[in-house]
Every structure is written in structure tokens, then in C-alpha cells.
A = this chain, B = another copy of it.
Amino acid sequence: MKKDFFNVLSVQEFIQALYSFSPLQTQTRSIEAADGCILAEDIIAAEDLPLASRSCMDGYAIDAASVFGASEANPAYLESVGDIDIEKPASFTLQNGECAGIVTGGILPDGADAVVMVEHTESLGAGTVEIRKSLAPHENVMLKGEDATTGNVALAAGTRLRPQEVGMLAALGIQEVPVVSAPKVGIISTGDELVSIDEKPVVGQVRDVNSYTLAACARRAGATATAYGLVEDNLTSLKAALENALAENDVVFLSGGSSVGVRDLTVGAIEEIEGAELINHGVAISPGKPLILAKCGNKAIWGLPGQVASAQVVMFILGMPFLRYLGGDTNAFDQSRWPSKQAEISRNVPSKPGREDYVRVSIAEKDGKTVATPVLGKSGLLKTMLQADGVAKIGADSEGIYEGATIDVLFF
């Protein structure tokens, strides 16, 4: 690709380019540290879960057929042959006309296929129990193997682990689990007007914000993040810093001061890195158009705009999903699965067709409705991001959204 060819991709084309990267290798994690990770392999159950059919209720284990048609008006009568200990299976088998006391979690005895809740029964003394309800077979019973069966897939590769999936692994006795590795992210800031946050800037200088904002975003996306601090904006320093960060990470996010010159320098430095291929010179997205991407084997270099709000919005819309994708989440770019809330937009928002606009909005409840108010302001300021609860998308084929229209607010 020629350096002077100004190659701006649509958001969809850019995401297609991101799909040319492969999700990361498998690593093993203890289940205590696996919440949020993506399973790298199918998990096969080594035993049935539950191991045996168990009661969901306190009551009596019965054969459902023996109380067929029973009701308040027309109860059935069974003989109780004893109570079942929760810790071990019953030593007896229920015969016709018999029942047995059982607690939640107790193992069903042979001859029983359902449990009647204690509320629907009355013990009449001398072992006789009145049953005032008919039951379907398996009612109030957790069946042997209902959660998982021996030799079958209990959790499929690609599953995102939540607390309940972690619970399933525990139930199966699995203490360590193969997951897709968390991406390692390196963050570099450049721009000669930047100073580190422990310095006192003079007029003309600003502290390095992006290193901190972008690291927090990367961690929210499940990555580990290392900030390499400030790099002088000259070709030699930038190339050396990129090569160093690239050697130690899967993805490098470089945010480029705020001047145009720095962007050209970034492109120049990337082109000097062995094996690096520059994918684009921009994306049809606002804010964030100057975004550039390079591929170096399966490692990625992102050149983000230096403006603090632009850098973070691009990170949120494209960078964080990319990190989740590398971490094994195949649906990471599907915004319909992101935390969001429908809201009514409080006023007209015009937009330039041909690019995706992400309008920062704050939300509030008003007269029982959720109302989103656009937060307008300059991308170099932090204020708009502080005031916003999230962003609303205006598609590339749209000239804007009208006051009162329903939009999805994607939450920061």
C-alpha cells in the first residue's frame, strides 16, 4: 500500500480487516479466575449431574400414578414407609400404595417418580398420609443427568463464562479450565506537547491523559495493559518504542498527540517496522476518523487520534470489541448485545451521510420515559465524556435523527 494513497475504510470494512486477526492461544486458568473468559475447548461431563434423581421440595416421594386424579375434594391415601436421609439413598423400594418422607435434595427411592409438596398433604397418623393433589411424573424432581450427562458436552467451546458457568465447572469437579488468553496491550503516547502526570505543565503543555484512559478501557475489555509512557515524536524514538511494545504485547495502542504531523510520523514509523502492513489511513467514523491500523503477523498496531474524547470513543466502539474478539468473543462487534438502553432523543441531531456518527448523550428519566440529551462539545476536552452516559449511533446511510426518535444508548 502506498503511503500517499489516502485509504479511508468504512466501519464495516475496518471490522472486516480486524477479523483477519486470529483469536489468541489457549491458556489454563483456575475457575476462580476464569469469570468473563471464553472457553477454548468443549467441556465434557465425566459424570451425570445430578448423579441421581433428587427432590426439589420438602414432601413425600411417590409414584405419580398412585395419586392420579387426587384433589382437595377427592384425596388419595398412601402409607409412609419412612423418611429418606438427605445424605444417602433409601434402602427400600416403594411398593404400590406407598410413599416416603423426603427433603429438598433427597434422593428419590426406587419406585418413586415425583414428589408431592408437604403443603398438599396431611399426615393422618399411623403412617397414613392424605395426598390432595395429582402429579405429573417427574414433578418436583431434578432428574438424574438433567444438568449434564456423562460423556456429553456440558459447556461448548466459545462459551463466555459467567458466574453460573463457573458454578457448572465446579459442579463437574473441574478446577482448571482452558480459555482463550486475555490480550496483552501496550499503550504509548506521543506528542511533544505532552508531559507525564507527575510533571507540572507550563502553558503549551498538557499532561498525558490517554495512557490512563486507554489502559482503563483495555482492562474493562479483559486485557492486561502496560503503559509505556511518553515517546518523543521523532521517527527513531517512535519506531523503537513501537518495536519494543510490539515484542511484549498482542496489541499496541499509540495515541498521537493532537497535531497532524504526528500522524504522518506514526505512519512513517509503522512502515519502517519489519513485517508491518499498514491497513488504512482512516475510518469513516466520527469522532475518530484519523484512526489507522497496521498488522504485523497476528499483532496489531492501532494509531488513535490524540484528542482525548475521540481516542476514547474509537476505543469503545472498535478497540475494546477487538480486544474481546482476540479474547475469543466471536460476537464482540455485535452492538445489539452491548449494555444499552432505549431512549428518546431530546432534539434533532444532523449527521453527514457516509460516516458512522457516535453522538455522546446523557440520559435521564422524565415523565416515565428515558430521555437522551446530546452532549455537544470539543473532542479535545474531557468534559463531554464526563457528562455523557454513553453514545448513540447514527448510521452511515442516515442524515441524522429527529427529536423524539427512539435510539439505543450504548453505555460507557
Whether B212 and A382, one on each chain, are in contact in the complex, defined by CB atoms closer than 8 angstroms, is no
Q: A193 contacts which of B105, B201, B259, B339 (Cβ < 8 Å)?
A: B105
A381 to B53, CA, bound (A): 11
Contact A339 B339 (CB under 8 A): yes
From residue 169 to 213 of chain A, which have CB atoms closer than 8 A to chain B? 169-175, 191-193, 197-213
Query: Interface readout for A131-150 with B: 1 if CB under 8 Å, 0 if not?
Result: 00000000010100011000
Which residue from chain B places its CB closest to the CB of A192 in the assembled complex? B87
Q: Are B170 and A198 within 8 A (Cβ)?
A: no
A178 to B107, CA, bound (A): 53
Is A383 part of the contact surface with B, judged by Cβ < 8 Å?
A: yes
- Measured in the bound complex, the distance between the Cα atoms of B52 and A307 in whole Å is 16
Q: Is A307 touching B87 in the complex (CB atoms < 8 A)?
A: no
A166 neighbours in B (Cβ, 8 Å): 212-213, 216
Please report the total number of A residues contacting B with Cβ < 8 Å. 92
Contact A103 B204 (CB under 8 A): no
**Complex Cα gap A325–B104 (Å):** 33
Q: Does A32 lie at the interface of the complex (its beta carbon under 8 Å from any beta carbon of B)?
A: yes
- Among candidates B170, B211, B215, residue contacting A207 with C-beta atoms closer than 8 Å: B170
* Chain B residue with Cβ nearest A212: B170
Besides A32-B215, A170-B212, 10 new A-B residue pairs in contact (Cβ under 8 A), listed by A number = A56-B378, A58-B260, A86-B192, A103-B258, A146-B383, A147-B381, A162-B216, A163-B214, A163-B312, A167-B216
26 contacts between A and B (CB under 8 A): A32-B215, A52-B203, A58-B260, A86-B204, A86-B257, A103-B258, A103-B259, A103-B261, A104-B260, A105-B259, A142-B378, A147-B381, A147-B383, A162-B412, A167-B213, A168-B209, A170-B211, A171-B382, A173-B198, A174-B197, A175-B197, A175-B198, A336-B365, A336-B370, A339-B340, A342-B342
Report if A80 contacts B (CB, 8 A).
no
From known contacts A261-B103, A339-B339, infer whether A210 and B379 are also in contact, taking CB-CB under 8 Å: no
Given A103-B261, A169-B212, A219-B35, decide whether A201 and B340 contact each other with a Cβ distance below 8 A.
no
Q: Are A167 and B383 in contact (CB under 8 A)?
A: no
Assess whether B259 is in contact with A163, with CB atoms less than 8 Å apart.
no
Complex Cα gap A197–B47 (Å) = 13
Q: Contacts of A142 on B, CB cut-off 8 Å?
A: 378, 380-381
Across the interface, A205 reaches (CB within 8 A) one of B87, B162, B336, B365, namely: B87
- The answer to whether B105 and A168 touch across the interface, beta carbons within 8 angstroms, is no
A residues 75-105 near B (Cβ < 8 Å) are: 85-89, 103-105
Which interface residue of A104, A200, A257, A336 has the most chain B CB atoms within 10 A?
Answer: A104
Nearest B residue to A84, CB-CB: B204
Contact of A50 with B163 in the complex, beta carbons under 8 Å: no
Chain B residues with Cβ under 8 A from A339's Cβ? 339-340, 411
Give A244 Cβ to nearest chain B Cβ, in Å: 20
Task: Please determine whether B89 and A170 come into contact, CB atoms closer than 8 angstroms.
Answer: no
Q: Is A210 in contact with B105, judged by CB distance below 8 angstroms?
A: no
A171 to B307, CA, bound (A): 13
User: What is the distance, in angstroms, from A263's C-beta to the closest C-beta of chain B?
Assistant: 10
